[in-house]
Structure 1
């Protein structure tokens, strides 16, 4: 992350964080599957660690303090002012569950939900700027919202993040600097599950990663298959945290 000297442009997915009820197990599973090592995160966030690829932070893992809270990954979007963005969430019909609060000198954050209930984060980077998605195996590669109201979601994120939303194959996309940074599409396959942002990690081989997931105690939810962004698979970790993998191209 040393090459980054400026906060990522507002609206860019810049971080992903897992809340789980088994942090040691999550460290073992994702460390083996994606090649991560770990360092301690901000003490204010409790039992929280940062996953690294080499020296670069790529994700956070923490323990949920809410009994019965589902194990899940959260996508964070870079914002210039977390307090202002959180206020816009409320004005646009969403809710703010946590913050905005200061994470030591790393930055300022809030956790919110959009009009359909999909959870996401806001991150105003200071010492910790985050990481833009890219096709490097082991790191976040893409963020995609599955929702029953794709049109309403597009209007919500356009207003909250102040970025354009354009039609894309299979749905729409948030644009930053004219480039698609995240997708929104109608979640026909939700099948009773709540709307959610789906985190995709880049891997060299989707089939191999799916097999390894099962060997490590996880599950394959959807076998590797072609998508507009490359070959992908939907997986779950041993505690039920859903994530996807996307072959690096």
Structure 2
């Protein structure tokens, strides 16, 4: 039987993806005609024109982002080598390339959010004295689960408020992740809230929220891996300048049992 395409819905009513994303303007075969939608089949590539999009204040409960759903279906978003200087200078690329190594065709549409560019990674870490001074001024606030290290790096203790997402729900998440209103509330009720530590294992997704933070418009927050030496895939890596609210962490176990107790982070100054 020929596999049916997996649909990526258009993006409306999104309020939880907390970092700068790229959304598709048009998509098609590499070097071919760009259209409003395109079926990316296994083993094929696509080229898409893009537009940067900044997401506003988060909602009340965690969600899985479009890029996570795509990754679980074998779709990867990448750039051309010629675009690296543009990205490092802080500009979002005008196009992206997608490759599909999975088994299910994916229908991509205009408006799909697909990727996040981590261009502040080359910027230096803010000194401890400056971090504490900005916190004293009140325009920078970090929750008690953040600890400032002597190096200027931050250490984030993973909170115990956790949403457990069953892998069997991924297809439903892919179809309903961007609904709003009562439909969104009903869909989010499928997530299991756990008060306490939850062990992760390969293929299991855990969503967790930090205590609220506040970033001024000239400071970004970057999150990295765990300090316990265990491999974890953590989303929400780049938190936008001006962001205010809890940070949602999407943590997927990658073959190691246990739960990451600490996550390394750092603050960098950016041009408002």
TM-score (norm 2): 0.26
Larger CA Rg, structure 1 vs 2: 2
- Point out which structure has higher relative CO (alpha carbons under 8 A, 6+ apart): 2
